[in-house]
Structure 1
Amino acid sequence: MQQLNVIGLEAQGAKALADKLNELLANYQVFYMNVRGFHWNVRGERFFELHVKFEETYNDLLLKVDEVAERILTLGQRPRHAYSAYLEQSSITEAKDVHDGRECVEHILQSYKAVIQLQREILAEAAELGDEGTSALMSDYISQQEKTAWMLTSYLG
């Protein structure tokens, strides 16, 4: 007989899904810190609009960090919480000393591409497991971020 976790999902599948969510958490943490740095350090003629946009972006990322960590806990697992672990697991790398607005936006677009791809993988695994909670979360993130990526691409021309 299958062993189920506290929310009625197959325990091994939930653990595997939580591992993938921890990978997403790592990417979000590095993404968040990069955008925070862009907010602080952006320079140039578009400073005012980008400074505000970057603040909006990092606030959204911070919310997602918390939601992903809480989803991992809901699945009966523990979210990683060491920045060294995030750097090891994230496919998004640290952006160091970036202050050109266009370059900042390009970094953000590449980061969205990485998290959207990972979220699609998580969405497929969650659907296979019958995990509606994770599926709904990933679906919401993907649709929102696809629109944001389109807008940022349009901004770049």
Structure 2
Amino acid sequence: MEINLGIAEADRAAIAEGLSRLLADTYTLYLKTHNFHWNVTGPMFNTLHLMFEGQYNELALAVDAIAERIRALGFPAPGSYSAYAKLSSIKEAEAVPAASEMIRQLVQGQEAVVRTARSLFPLLDAVSDEPTADLLTQRMQIHEKTAWMLRSLLDE
């Protein structure tokens, strides 16, 4: 059945492509955060272990919301590691870094997600896609706050 949301198909496709990049960034950050939750060590173990758990649980819910928005626009959501590797601006952790480096990498990942989300606003504004803009605004608020909280752990 044809989709008629008041947004042209080409614009919906461009939005879905941007959201696919956001989904890939979010899922890659989820995986990295979960990995660090499992592998963190050191004097801040308990604090970081619990903090990372809260963060990866929040990210797990986020990937679902992003993927469902892609589907609502009429396009398939990417769902494989190979697709995410091509689409994501966040690099996977190759080893198990020290706790302070884990925090730095997660700050960088949180900020990368914000930049990806922010890059979509010119198109969203041009076609009046308020539902996607609302989703991205909420995601940006969460990621900016999380980056601030993580960054605060590095202040001495």
- In the TM superposition, 1:9-24 aligns within 5 A as 9-24=7-22
Q: Per the alignment, in what secondary structure is the counterpart of residue 94 of structure 1?
A: coil
Correspondence for 2:24: 26
Say which is worse superposed, 10-19 or 93-102, in terms of deviation. 93-102
Correspondence for 2:134: 136
Correspondence for 2:108: 110
**Post-superposition CA distance 1:5-64 (Å, at most 9, x none):** 332211110110101111111111111111110000000000000000000010111111
- Asked if structure 2 preserves the Cα contact closer than 8 Å seen for 1:123 and 1:139, the reply is no
Q: How far apart in 1 are the matches of 2:37 and 2:148?
A: 20
- In the TM superposition, 1:8-157 aligns within 5 A as 8-157=6-155
Match of 2:49, as an amino acid? Answer: H
Segments ≥4 residues shifted beyond 3 Å: none
TM-score normalised by L of structure 2: 0.93
Q: Per the alignment, in what secondary structure is the counterpart of residue 153 of structure 2?
A: helix
**Post-superposition CA distance 1:60-95 (Å, at most 9, x none):** 111111010000001111101111111112110111
Q: How far apart in 1 are the matches of 2:144 and 2:25?
A: 17
Q: How far apart in 2 are the matches of 1:38 and 1:121?
A: 28
**Aligned-pair RMSD on alpha carbons?**
1.3
**Post-superposition CA distance 1:112-147 (Å, at most 9, x none):** 111100100123321211111000000111122212
